[in-house]
Chain A
Amino acid sequence: MKKEYTLFIVDDDPMQLEMLKDHLSKFHNFEVKVFPTGEECLEHLNEKPNIIILDFNLNGVNKNAMNGIEVLKIIKKDAPDVEVIMLSGQEKIEVAVNTMKYGAFDYVVKNESSFHRAENALFNIIRRFKLVKEAKLFKMLAVMFAIAFVALVILIAILYFTGHITNNVGWM
């Protein structure tokens, strides 16, 4: 059965990647895919992930690999609807602010609480997705109602001018 959301996790630290994958795979509506580099994640963007958890430092293993901010910028340019949660061992507020500036939804510091914080961020994003979906639905319903109302007015006008209905009230 197809899962409701596709989640990518990108980290060059195999242990972090595995732990996060195991933890978030518990939630049955997520299909989780993992990538050790930003480059590999970008190659799979055509699979239309809904959410990406992206490590800030992706060049720990390969010094020439793209870093998290570079990958974030490309994601937000090529797939602006994808929400990104940045993950980093950096506790500096300016690093977090910088990632938000480039469009990250949230910033999670890698420590013992990062698994629950990532989980909370995921559910906040899903809540947002649902609100956006509901807003779209209400907008569509409003448009349909307006169209139906205009059609009804036109129909009444046609019936009136063709003599099928008059001003006379039948029972008077």
Chain B
Amino acid sequence: MSNLTDLTFLRGLTNGDAAKLTKYINMFLKATPDMLNNLDKYYAEKDWESLRVTAHSLKPQLSYMGIKSLEEAIKTIEFNAGHQMQLDKMPEMIAHLREQCGMAMKELEEALKTIS
């Protein structure tokens, strides 16, 4: 099975500095569960603007962790929330995002063990 994450960009940006790489991955691991919970919360509250802003904030972070497979999904959530389109499909899209992010975070936790 191919990896969901790709740390090539981060390794390049940090010039292979293990401390910085570890710091950024840990920041992602800390922030992402809250952001995913917020997506569910704002959907339940029908707060589309907050849902859009949360997806918008998550988008670059996924990109930095090299999670390319979720690029379109997060853009669609942001766009649909902003335009209040296909809202009935939103729970399914958020669930998919949550599942994939969960797998990506496990990969990143594993990657942390090898970074030194």
Residues of chain A at the chain B interface (Cβ within 8 Å): 12-16, 18-19, 22-23, 57, 59-60, 63, 89-90, 110-112, 114-115
B103 to chain A, nearest CB (A): 20
Which chain B positions have C-beta within 8 A of A111? Answer: 60, 63
Complex: A13 Cα to B34 Cα, angstroms: 13
Partner of B61, one of A15, A59, A90, A115: A15
Q: How far is the CA of A112 from the CA of B23 in the complex (A)?
A: 17
Chain A residues with CB under 8 A of B23 = 18
Instruction: Determine if B28 and A15 form an interchain contact, defined as CB atoms under 8 angstroms apart.
Output: yes
A15, closest chain B residue (CB): B27
Interface size class of B (residues with CB under 8 A): 10 to 19
**Chain B: residues with CB nearer than 8 A to chain A?**
9, 13-14, 20, 23-24, 27-28, 31, 50, 53-54, 56-57, 59-61, 63-64
Chain B residues with CB under 8 A of A22:
14, 20
Smallest distance from the beta carbon of B101 to chain A beta carbons, Å? 14
Residue from A14, A16, A18, A23 within 8 A of B60 (CB atoms): A16
Which of chain B's residues have a CB closer than 8 A to the CB of A114?
60
What's the nearest-Cβ distance from chain A to residue B15, in Å?
9
Question: Cβ of B24 and Cβ of A18 under 8 Å apart?
Answer: yes
Q: Is the CB of B64 within 8 A of A112?
A: yes
Q: Chain B residues with Cβ under 8 A from A13's Cβ?
A: 57, 60-61
- What residues of chain B lie closer than 8 Å to A63, measured between beta carbons? 50
B53, B56, B64: the one within 8 Å of A19 (CB): B64
Task: Assess A15 versus B24: contact at CB under 8 Å? Given A89-B57, A89-B60, A112-B63.
Answer: yes
Which residues of the partner chain B approach A110 to less than 8 Å between Cβ atoms? 59-60
Q: Which of A12, A14, A18, A89 contacts B59 (CB 8 A)?
A: A89
Cβ contact within 8 Å between B31 and A14: yes
Report the minimal beta-carbon distance from B66 to chain A, rounded to whole angstroms: 9
Contacts A/B (CB < 8 Å), 29 sampled: A13-B57, A13-B60, A14-B27, A15-B24, A15-B27, A15-B28, A15-B61, A18-B27, A19-B13, A19-B24, A19-B64, A23-B13, A57-B53, A57-B57, A59-B53, A60-B53, A60-B54, A60-B56, A60-B57, A63-B50, A89-B56, A89-B57, A110-B60, A111-B60, A111-B63, A112-B63, A112-B64, A114-B60, A115-B13
